[in-house]
Chains A and B, each alone.
Chain A
Amino acid sequence: MINKIVRSVAEALDGVRDGALVLVGGFGAVGQSNQLLEGLIETGVRDLTIVANNAGYGNVGLARLLKLERVSKIICSFPRIAGSTTFEELYKANKIALELVPQGTLAERIRAAGAGIPAFYTATGVGTELAKGKKSAEFDGKTYLLETALKGDIALIEAWKADRWGNLTYRQSGRNFNPIMATAARTTIVQSQHIAELGELDPETIVTPGIFVERVVHIPHGDPQG
């Protein structure tokens, strides 16, 4: 019997190592895998590279991981933490490296990794500071930048419902980066608000098919914190 559901956050995070590249879903306070991130803090791993749209939210999860200086680099489109100056302090003190990526390029680099596409061209960023050092090419007389795929060692995902095959659904704007990050990591780890029996999720509404998921832990934490 296939069963990807594990009993604890510690079990879900087993094997995560120093220096890992971690994809962290969420946008604002919504869709954040805060309990997995708190568990990651507990494991003591450091020197992490984090890929996330924001630099966390409030004082929990990713924001706390940053504050504890476990992160050496963040790849991010909007490096802010609502209600906190943690990121600014680390940045000013040169304690964290920032790779700033336009939000759509970030999403597409993750999607490409999940789809086995090593690189792609985009018009976003042409003629700006963020084009520096990037190869470009012309197609039909228009210039595009070459952007490379962004694959994670692990992805930390928040879902609304999950079953033992790892099929996932999401809630409202909690979807955001979670489904694409689930496809783009060697080990995709999910915290889910609800656990469904196999067959209970309508196949027409499954957003992430279980093929993309390795481990699921049940975390009924309620509404987004923030």
Chain B
Amino acid sequence: MSAETQGKQQLSYIPLDRTGLARKVAADIPEGWVVNLGIGVPTLVADYVPADREVIFHSENGVLGIGPKPPEDQIERWLINAGKQYVTLRSGGSYFHHADSFAMIRGGHLDLCVLGAFEVSETGDIANWTTLSTEIAPAVGGAMDLAVGAQRLWVVMEHVTKDGRPRLVQKCSYPLTAPQAVKRVYTNLAIFDITQDGFKLLDMVTGLTLTELQAVTEGRIIC
């Protein structure tokens, strides 16, 4: 039975939504880490780190110590994050130029980067910057720098594509952002560490069986 036909029957489990995924990632970030969050679900992670846990958020465009989103009437037009959203600066925060910002990234000063992706391979290759569409020019931003520079790279993504194909694969079909870079993957179904032996299962949603999970995962799952 394909993943798609299974999906049309009543599921015995509930996949995590975007908020649920962001909460899972946030729960695993300890106090004291300096963290860069990519665009999309990764950006939401900051909202679920408790205010009393000091985690320092970095943004490529020269901001360290990003605080919560400002209320509409307190927007500071000169203060944005890499996703071009208005943000605030926490006490202790600082501004710097792009070369310093990427010295922090490439020099290994960030404890963690969380990115979205199209695919992750069982050897930790990540593909997240171009689908090879001829309609849209490719855009890479800071993803390649972050993938090789941060101490750890975690990926957050849906477990399968819109048409039900696995995103956890043996070999990426899209161009790589970086080879052998990902340490951990959070999907809407499960959490894995990338190990020499394959995708090591750390957690999965209640009610999901290992057989069901393996059916929508191309690489080898180990427990």
Tell me what chain B mostly uses at the interface: helix, strand, loop, or mixed.
Answer: loop
- A88 vs chain B, min Cβ distance (A): 6
Compute how far the CA of A177 lies from the CA of B144 in the bound complex, rounded to whole angstroms: 18
**Which listed segment binds B: A1-9, A63-71, A100-108, A133-141?**
A100-108
Mark each residue of chain A from 50 to 91: 1 if its CB lies under 8 Å from any CB of chain B, else 0.
Answer: 000100000000000000000000000111101000011001
Across the interface, which residues of A come within 8 angstroms of B143, CB to CB?
102
Residue A111 interfacial (CB < 8 Å): yes
Mark B65-95 against chain A: 1 for CB-CB distance below 8 A, else 0.
0000000000011111110100001000001
- A105→B95 contact, CB < 8 A: no
* Chain B residues, CB < 8 A from A101: 140
- Residues of A close to B137: CB separation below 8 A: 79, 87-88, 91, 98, 100
Q: Which residues of B contact A92 (CB under 8 A)?
A: 135
Contact B176 A77 (CB under 8 A): no
Does A174 count as interface, using CB distance less than 8 angstroms?
Answer: yes
> Which residue on B lies nearest to A82, using beta carbons?
B84
B177 touches A175 (CB 8 A): no
Q: A124-B149, A180-B98 are in contact. Are A78 and B141 (CB under 8 A)?
A: yes
Q: Does A116 contact B (CB under 8 A)?
A: no
List B contacts of A103 (CB < 8 A).
60, 98, 102, 140-142, 145
* Residues of A bordering B, CB below 8 Å: 27-30, 53, 77-80, 82, 87-88, 91-92, 98, 100-105, 107-108, 110-111, 122-130, 170-180, 207, 223-224
Q: B residues touching A (Cβ–Cβ < 8 Å)? A: 59-63, 76-82, 84, 89, 95-99, 101-102, 105-106, 130, 135-145, 148-149, 175-179
Closest 5 CB pairs of A and B: A104-B145, A104-B102, A28-B84, A103-B142, A172-B78
